[in-house]
């Protein structure tokens, strides 16, 4: 983090989920899968999905408004939206989200880093605050992967869900609770094909040929992604704790991108921390991509697992490949979620 400019302080947290619940039993009724397989391999019991005609911006607006309310803030200099499922390929979705929130003429743009999107967006917003370009920022993670999954793909349909989460950042002091104290981001583009939507971009469109149907959907190589996720999240969390000046065993909570319950357990094992320091809501929401970390934070804050004064590291991993993490001392705030997430 910058040693010279203002620090970025988390001052508000909000989240939103679409009301429609898709259980493992619902999936088992349509695909060659079982509740037992999905629970044991991923820890997921249910996920939320948008209704026909809804879009990512609808979720982002709801989460953003809740984060502003949580911060009791009405000034926003920049809206940074992390998403890989924008409403349209062009333009970015953030300006529309800002406008619908009543934030007229603010800077607004999207960040694309798949499941690491929220961490990348936090880092970008913190840089704008450190440079003096912005005094406050709304950082939203929102995705609707239900719109890009192949209907017959039992692996991806079992994992992903829709949702949105947001934090409000304001300029402040590095010594305050809520100030971002360490940040680490990385990528490995040589493995981009492990997580991709192959068609729909300039590479395919410039051929002049229509896309193969299968290439228009999200595809993932589960096994290698699993291994890469564990390796990079564990290393990044360690690096960020070090940058914050914290010994790993003094970190109270590690809030990871909710990719798979077994990935969380493997990271806990690698960094040698007890599993109860890793709050998780994956059983109720699945992998919500860029929304995953702020949704998990909202859940943990609402159920008392996350309290003011705790040392917290957030960690993400996703397509690109990309990864990153952020350290902060948890601030005294009231998160505003959709409702307490019910047990499946
Ligand atoms: N129901 C039943 N069987 C399924 C299934 C489902 N929903 N999904 C996959 N399978 C099958 C596979 O087809 C395969 O069958 P086969 O042996 O006949 O070929 C078998 O289960 C084992 O598949 P495999 O991919 O080796 O299983 P796995 O234990 O690695 O679990 C994932 C698969 C996807 C759950 C796991 O690899 C994973 O979580 N990877 C990371 C995914 C992720 O986090 N992505 C986002 C990153 S940000």
Ligand 1 atom with least separation from CA of 318: 48
| 88 and 112 both lie in a single domain | yes
- Please state whether the peptide bond connecting residue 239 to the residue before it is cis, i.e. omega within 30 degrees of 0: no
Closest residue (by CA) to atom 10 of ligand 1? 155
Instruction: Note whether residue 244 is domain-resident.
Output: yes
| 151 and 220 both lie in a single domain | no
Which residues have any ligand 1 atom within 6 Å of their CB? 33, 37-38, 41-42, 115, 154-155, 158, 220, 222-223, 225-226, 229, 259-260, 263, 287, 317-318
pLDDT for residue 265: 97
| 158 and 250 both lie in a single domain | no
| 11 and 134 both lie in a single domain | yes
Instruction: Note whether residue 277 is domain-resident.
Output: yes
Rounded to the nearest integer, the mean pLDDT of the chain is 96
Instruction: Note whether residue 339 is domain-resident.
Output: no
Q: Which of 317, 255, 286 is nearest to 162 (CA)?
A: 286
pTM, two decimals, is 0.96
Query: Is 287 designated active site?
Result: yes
Instruction: Note whether residue 161 is domain-resident.
Output: yes
Instruction: Note whether residue 287 is domain-resident.
Output: yes
| 195 and 160 both lie in a single domain | no
Range of the domain at 164: 7-172
| CATH number of 225's domain | 3.40.47.10
| 72 and 143 both lie in a single domain | yes
| 134 and 205 both lie in a single domain | no
pLDDT for residue 74: 87
Closest residue (by CA) to atom 40 of ligand 1? 222
Instruction: Note whether residue 31 is domain-resident.
Output: yes
Ligand 1 atom with least separation from CA of 225: 41
Residue that is last in its domain, among 129, 146, 172: 172
Listed as ranges, residues in the chain with pLDDT below 70 are 1-4, 339-344
| 132 and 13 both lie in a single domain | yes
Query: How many distinct structural domains can be found in the chain?
Result: 2
Residue that is last in its domain, among 155, 172, 189: 172
Closest residue (by CA) to atom 1 of ligand 1? 33
Q: What is the pLDDT of residues 137-189, one digit of tens each?
A: 999 999 999 999 999 999 999 999 999 999 999 999 999 999 999 999 999 99
| 147 and 238 both lie in a single domain | no
Q: Which of 114, 145, 155 most suits a substitution to test ligand 1, by most atoms within 8 Å of the C-beta?
A: 155
Instruction: Note whether residue 204 is domain-resident.
Output: yes
Instruction: Note whether residue 312 is domain-resident.
Output: yes
| 18 and 48 both lie in a single domain | yes
| 144 and 262 both lie in a single domain | no
Query: Is 133 designated active site?
Result: no
Query: Is 257 designated active site?
Result: yes
Distance CA 116, CA 183 (A): 13
């Amino acid at each position: 983090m910058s040693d010279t400019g203002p620090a970025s302080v988390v001052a508000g947290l909000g989240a939103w989920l679409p009301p429609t619940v898709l259980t493992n039993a619902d999936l088992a009724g349509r695909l060659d899968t079982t509740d037992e397989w999905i629970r044991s391999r991923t820890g997921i019991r249910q996920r939320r999905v948008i209704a026909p005609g809804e879009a990512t911006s609808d979720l982002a607006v709801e989460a953003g408004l809740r984060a502003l309310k949580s911060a009791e803030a009405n000034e926003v200099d920049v809206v940074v939206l992390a998403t890989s499922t924008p409403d349209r390929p062009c333009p970015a979705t953030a300006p529309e989200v800002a406008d619908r929130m009543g934030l007229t003429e603010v800077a607004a743009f999207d960040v694309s880093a798949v499941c690491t999107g929220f961490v990348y967006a936090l880092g970008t917003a913190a840089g704008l605050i450190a440079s003096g370009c912005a005094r406050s920022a709304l950082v939203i993670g929102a995705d609707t992967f239900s719109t890009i999954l192949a209907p017959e793909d039992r692996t991806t349909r079992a994992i992903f869900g829709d949702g949105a989460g947001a934090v409000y950042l304001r300029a402040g002091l590095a010594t305050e609770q809520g100030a971002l104290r360490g940040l680490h981001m990385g990528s490995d583009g040589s493995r981009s094909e492990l997580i991709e939507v192959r068609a729909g971009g300039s590479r395919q469109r410039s051929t002049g040929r229509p896309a193969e149907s299968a290439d228009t959907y999200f595809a993932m190589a589960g096994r290698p992604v699993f291994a890469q996720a564990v390796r990079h999240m564990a290393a990044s969390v360690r690096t960020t704790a070090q940058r914050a000046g914290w010994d790993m065993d003094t970190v109270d909570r590690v809030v990871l991108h909710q990719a798979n319950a077994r990935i969380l357990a493997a990271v806990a094992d690698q960094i040698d921390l007890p599993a109860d320091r890793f709050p998780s809501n994956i059983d109720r929401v699945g992998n919500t991509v860029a929304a995953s970390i702020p949704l998990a934070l909202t859940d943990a804050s609402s159920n008392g697992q996350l309290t003011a004064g705790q040392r917290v590291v957030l960690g993400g991993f996703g397509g690109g490949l990309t990864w990153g993490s952020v350290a902060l001392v948890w601030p005294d705030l009231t998160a505003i979620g959709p409702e307490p997430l019910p047990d499946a």
